[in-house]
Amino acid sequence: MKRARLFAAVLALAALAAAPRAGAELTEVEAVGVAPAGPEARRLALASGLREAVVLVAAELAREGGASTTERAALEEALGDEPTRYAVQYRLAEDRGERPAQLVLDPGVEREYVVVVAAQVERERVREALRRAGLLGAPAPGSVHSLWLTIEGVDAWPTWERLRRALAARGGTVRPIEFARGVVVAELQTDESNQALVERLRRAVGDSLGVSVTGSEPGSLRLRVVTNAAPALDVPGAPPPTSPSAPPAVRPAVPSAAASAP
What pLDDT is attached to residue 133? 83
Q: Looking at the whole model, is its pTM more than 0.95?
A: no
Question: Could you tell me if 113 and 41 are in contact, meaning their C-beta atoms sit under 8 angstroms apart?
Answer: yes
Local structure of 242: helix, strand or coil: coil
Picking from 91, 83, 63, the residue whose alpha carbon sits closest to that of residue 126 is: 83
Local structure of 123: helix, strand or coil: helix
What pLDDT is attached to residue 202? 92
What does each C-alpha distance from 15 to 11, 19, 125, 253 come to in angstroms? 8, 12, 17, 68
What pLDDT is attached to residue 24? 61
Burial group, residue 180, by CB count within 10 angstroms (0-12, 13-18, 19+):
exposed
What pLDDT is attached to residue 213? 93
Q: Which domains does the chain have, with CATH numbers?
A: 2-132 (no CATH), 145-227 (3.10.20)
Model pLDDT for residues 79-113, shown as the tens digit of each residue: 887 776 799 889 999 999 999 999 998 899 999 99
Which residues sit opposite 189 in a β-bridge? 146
What pLDDT is attached to residue 257? 40
Beta pairing class for 183-190 and 145-152: antiparallel
- Which residues of the chain are modeled with pLDDT < 50? 1-19, 22, 230-262
Which residues sit opposite 216 in a β-bridge? 221
Question: Could you tell me if 57 and 121 are in contact, meaning their C-beta atoms sit under 8 angstroms apart?
Answer: yes
What pLDDT is attached to residue 33? 94
Model pLDDT for residues 143-162, shown as the tens digit of each residue: 777 788 999 999 889 999 99
What pLDDT is attached to residue 242? 43
Q: Which element (helix H / strand E) includes 88?
A: strand 87-100
What pLDDT is attached to residue 229? 55
What pLDDT is attached to residue 38? 92
Going by the DSSP 8-state scheme, the letter that residue 219 receives in this structure is: T
Which residues sit opposite 176 in a β-bridge? 186
